Chains A and B, each alone.
Chain A
Amino acid sequence: MGHALTTEQAAARTLFYQADEHDHEAGGSTLLGFWIYLMSDCLIFAVLFATYGVVGGNYAAGPGPKDLFDLSLVALNTSMLLLSSMTYGFAMLSSYRNKVAATQVWLVVTGLFGAAFLGIELYEFAHMIHEGATPQRSAFLSAFFTLVGTHGLHVTFGIVWLITLMVQIGKHGLNKANARRLACLSLFWHFLDVIWIGVFTFVYLMGMLR
């Protein structure tokens, strides 16, 4: 009924949760939270891949993958992104040893590889648009530019973040907050490389097989 529990009864009850709020370290859950953000980003790319998979064959009597794609350029682009992934790893290794200068140098190298990737991609886009293969030409091209462009946009923001972080590290050194940011950007950067594996396999290589 509605009787209040006596102290003995209350003490005899088993608690299935921690009665006291324990301390949370600042930023202790940031990496997991960032990982979950990346998973939601993964869903965005899944939808874009699905769209490309559905309409990727609708050329509307326009140019198809074989007319447009230059695989040697894509191979070069892929190697740029892969090299940038490795150099970012070297930046992380330098940061573990608290070597600020080495971390900054590896971040610069990573940024340059990322910029080279973007430059090659923009060159490819410009070339395609110049040939009349614009996003509004066919469903295939709309889906192509949306998927590959979204990935390129992510790389662009990754580079903006990288530069911002380098300024932060230059000002405050490798303190705990900057180390955490470095780890988050590391996840972001390597994640973009994983997405690119899907892009070059399903869009470029499979496109050439059609």
Chain B
Amino acid sequence: MSAHEHHHEEGLIHGDGPHGTLKDYLTGFILSVILTAIPFWLVMGDVAWSKQTIAFVIVAFAAVQMVVHMVYFLHMTPKSEDGWTLTSLVFTLILVVITLAGSLWVMYHMDSNMMPKHEVSQPL
């Protein structure tokens, strides 16, 4: 990543903030196309894998593509803003994981421990 490549060129009004290059954007775009096309193909095409395997693979592709966007489009580096962007991102990710995992875990068990469904049937 050439974050500060254009920093001191003449006539530039941008002082702060990481800068991307054409190469960054094109690399990010091509990687994103690949990382999007494969999951869609796995689900739309008749792939002879189990649903669990496909689900695992597409989630992995999504995670990689998010990182690709962060690096090539958002130009995140561990050093941007003295590390504060990364710190706040990590903090947010911890909260996101707690929210998602906690909700799914608790609500799944609440659901399983509820009254059995469809046992009280009413005559129509």
C-alpha spacing A31/B19, complex, angstroms:
13
A179-B14 contact given A36-B88, A190-B69, A201-B62, CB 8 Å threshold: yes
**Are A208 and B43 in contact, with the CB atoms below 8 A?**
yes
Q: Are B70 and A194 in contact (CB under 8 A)?
A: yes
Q: List B contacts of A179 (CB < 8 A).
A: 13-14
Residue of B19, B22, B73 with most partner-chain A CB within 10 A: B73
B19, A96: Cβ atoms closer than 8 Å: yes
Segment of A41-49, A114-122, A151-159, A160-168 engaged in the interface with chain B: A41-49
Contact between chains at A193 and B73 (CB < 8 Å): yes
A209–B81 CB distance below 8 A: no
Q: Does residue A206 face the partner (Cβ distance < 8 Å to B)?
A: yes
Tell me the dominant secondary structure on chain B's binding face: helix
In the bound complex, how far is the Cα of B37 from the Cα of A72, in angstroms? 11
Once A93-B21, A190-B73, A206-B55 are accepted as A-B contacts, the answer to whether A82 and B36 lie under 8 Å apart by CB is yes
- Using C-beta atoms within 8 Å of the partner chain, give the interface range for chain A: 35 or more
Asked whether any CB of chain A lies closer than 8 Å to the CB of B92, the reply is yes
Which single member of B20, B36, B59 contacts A92 (CB below 8 Å)?
A: B20
- The answer to whether B11 touches A98, judged by C-beta atoms less than 8 angstroms apart, is yes
What is A's interface to B at a CB cutoff of 8 Å? 25, 28, 31-32, 35-36, 39, 42-43, 46-47, 49-51, 53-54, 71-72, 74-75, 78-79, 82, 85-86, 89-90, 92-93, 95-96, 98, 174-176, 179, 183, 187, 190-191, 193-194, 197-198, 200-202, 205-206, 208-209
Binding site for A on B (CB under 8 A): 6, 11-17, 19-22, 24-26, 28-29, 32-33, 36, 39-40, 43-44, 51, 54-55, 58-59, 61-62, 65-66, 69-70, 73-74, 81, 84-85, 88-89, 91-92, 95-96, 99-100, 103-104, 107
